[in-house]
Amino acid sequence: MKPLLKNPLFWVACFAFLNVIMYITIAKFWIGGSSFLPMIGEFGVDNKFLFAFIVNLGIIAGSLISALGSKEFVFRIPKNSNNVIKAVVGGILIGMGVTLAPGTCSTVFITGMPMLSVNSFLSAAGIFIGAYISYRLVIGREK
Amino acid sequence: MSFELLCLIGFLFGIGFGIFVQRAGLCFAHGLGEIFMGRGKRIIRMFLVILIITSIGFLLSGYISSDLGLKSVGQIRGYGFYNILSGILFGAGILLNGGCILGTLRQIGEGNMTFAVVLLSFIPGMALIVFGLNPLLNTYYNTTTGILLPDIIGLAAPYVTSIIVIGSIFWLIAILWKRN
């Protein structure tokens, strides 16, 4: 049992099962990017973005509980200004990307592609292109 | 069901997602970085497990209730150019700050406040599109039709899902076989 609990694939499988269970029980699936639109006052039809935002607040709470339980919680304040700049620029790009065509980002890999949603396959291609450009221009150059 | 109750249930599901994501260490940004460095087997294994389980689950959900089943996800502008463009922006962003949406939420839960900065930085990016670009784009381009892969290739959803699932299983077995 112990090796199983240490295997990341087991926990990924639990995540996937929970996503399916949530869909079957309350007809909602996990979404990423659009869920943050309530931060700028956009709540979506029938408050669907607000619901997704609350689910994602639960993810922060769940990660906190798990990190505290496994003694992996370390409170870290950003000190390196270079990292803060990257965080801000990266965050703005993510904010633009997820709003321009909702359904991108992690949603693509976790919900969109299993749903056979065409835009998710296109977004996945875009994510690879964008990530590769970013890797070549910034990350790869630093290494 | 009232919206408040729905939110409470959603929050509890979120806690479950958070625990599983934290234990798995799942982050697609790190995963993409690993792929570009030629060490992408870890994230590919994780992705394949998710794809196999959720593909089967979402397909079968349609047999449980007609309200469920396969649905398009977030097609506010149909499908095409904007999906690729938004993917490029998103992909560049996650590689730059080292965290996808799940990774960002997980890292905040683990106490890394750099990712709280990332989360707050979504606000100007989202505002730029919603209040600046969307009013312009909606004048010229406003499609809300949901399109699924089976509609385009003319093959029933169970066949498409079966092909994806069987292919993913073989790929996963091949990776695990090599590893052992």
Neighbours of A112 (CB within 10 A): 29
The per-residue pLDDT for range B7-56, each reduced to its tens digit, is 999 999 999 999 999 999 988 888 888 888 888 889 999 999 999 999 99
C-alpha–C-alpha distance, residues A130 and B32, integer Å: 11
Q: Is residue B149 over pLDDT 80?
A: yes
Cβ contact A54–B1 (<8 Å)? no
Tokens standing for residue A93: 């790009």
Tokens standing for residue A138: 């910034």
Q: Say which residue, A108 or B165, is predicted with more confidence.
A: B165
Q: Tell me which residue in A59, A76, A98 faces B17 most closely, judged by beta carbons.
A: A59
- Sequence-ordered list of residues with C-beta below 8 angstroms from that of B22, at least 6 positions apart, any chain: A62, A63, A66, A67, A70, A72, B106, B109, B110
pLDDT for the residue numbered A141: 67
Q: Which residues of A touch B100 (CB under 8 A)?
A: 32, 105-106
Q: Say which residue, B93 or B178, is predicted with more confidence.
A: B93
Closest residue, chain A, to B12 (C-alpha): A58
C-alpha–C-alpha distance, residues B116 and B102, integer Å: 13
Tokens standing for residue B69: 């089943």
Cβ contact B117–A115 (<8 Å)? no
- Sequence-ordered list of residues with C-beta below 8 angstroms from that of B65, at least 6 positions apart, any chain: A24, A27
Instruction: Quote the minimal CA–CA distance from B174 to chain A in Å.
Output: 15
Cβ contact A8–B46 (<8 Å)? yes
Q: Across all residues in chain B, what is the average pLDDT? A: 88
Q: How many residue pairs from chains A and B have C-beta atoms closer than 8 A?
A: 472
Q: Tell which of A18, A23, A57, A104 to mutate to test the B interface (max B CBs under 10 Å).
A: A104
Q: Is residue B159 over pLDDT 80?
A: yes
Q: Which amino acid is at B154?
A: G
Q: Tell me which residue in A100, A116, A132 faces B86 most closely, judged by beta carbons.
A: A100
Low-confidence ranges of chain A (pLDDT < 50): none
- Cα–chain center distance at B155: 24
How long a stretch of residues is chain A?
Answer: 143
Cβ contact A132–B36 (<8 Å)? yes
Cβ contact B92–A133 (<8 Å)? yes
C-alpha–C-alpha distance, residues A123 and A61, integer Å: 29
C-alpha–C-alpha distance, residues B92 and A96, integer Å: 11
Tokens standing for residue A49: 């973005």
Cβ contact B22–A63 (<8 Å)? yes
- ipTM, two decimals, is 0.93
Q: Give the angle B130-A19-A37 at the CA atoms, nearest 5°.
A: 15
pLDDT for the residue numbered A6: 85
Q: Say which residue, B180 or B64, is predicted with more confidence.
A: B64
Least confident range of A82-91, B69-78, B148-157, B168-177: B69-78
Q: Tell which of A88, A105, A139 to mutate to test the B interface (max B CBs under 10 Å).
A: A105
